[in-house]
């Protein structure tokens, strides 16, 4: 459960202290699709001086959607987000989960923010490590999209103390 604390903290950072969750998206960002629930998000590294980016995970029944958003302005103190790309994810099993860049690296794309679909398994030292990664994406900032990457060389891990 502790592996989700960073995701929750990142999501809360997107919400102003006096705001409501629906306001955090800004008035111009569309709400989640009908039947979908916003289950988390994370800010992504951008280029210095460039726009801010965020990725939001939506649960739509048995499927997940990963939506890439760019900050396009402000509405008072609230950021206004515009969706620039998304991928729809089918989970091969209930144990598979979307693993976020805070925990994932790719040996082929060492400087990229990497998302993966896999399972986390507890290790003897109390840490967690990904297993059975079936799909992976990197945040391609130049093209503002989520690009599919090979799963070979993708590793997601969480220290036991996190």
In this prediction the pTM is: 0.74
What local confidence, expressed as pLDDT, does residue 63 receive?
A: 80
What local confidence, expressed as pLDDT, does residue 162 receive?
A: 53
Q: Could you tell me which of 112, 96, 99, 104 has the C-alpha nearest to residue 147?
A: 112
User: 92 by DSSP, 3-state: which?
Assistant: coil
Over residues 140-148, mean pLDDT = 92
How far is residue 118's CA from residue 162's CA, in Å, rounded to a whole number? 19
| Residue 99, both tokens | 């693993």
- Greatest mean pLDDT among 3-17, 18-32, 147-161 lies in 147-161
How far is residue 3's CA from residue 12's CA, in Å, rounded to a whole number? 15
């Amino acid at each position: 459960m502790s592996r989700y604390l960073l995701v929750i903290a990142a999501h809360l950072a997107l919400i102003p202290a006096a705001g409501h969750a629906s306001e955090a998206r800004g008035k111009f960002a569309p709400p989640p699709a009908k039947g979908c629930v916003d289950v988390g998000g994370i800010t992504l590294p951008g280029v210095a001086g460039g726009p801010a980016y965020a990725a939001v995970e939506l649960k739509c029944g048995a499927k997940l959607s990963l939506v890439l958003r760019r900050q396009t302005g402000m509405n008072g103190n609230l950021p206004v987000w515009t969706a620039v790309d998304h991928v729809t994810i089918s989970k091969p099993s209930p144990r598979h989960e979307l693993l976020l860049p805070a925990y994932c690296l790719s040996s082929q794309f060492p400087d990229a923010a990497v998302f993966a679909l896999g399972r986390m398994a507890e290790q003897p030292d109390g840490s967690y490590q990904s297993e059975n990664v079936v799909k992976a994406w990197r945040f391609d900032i130049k093209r503002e999209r989520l690009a599919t990457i090979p799963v070979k060389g993708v590793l997601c891990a969480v220290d036991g103390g996190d």
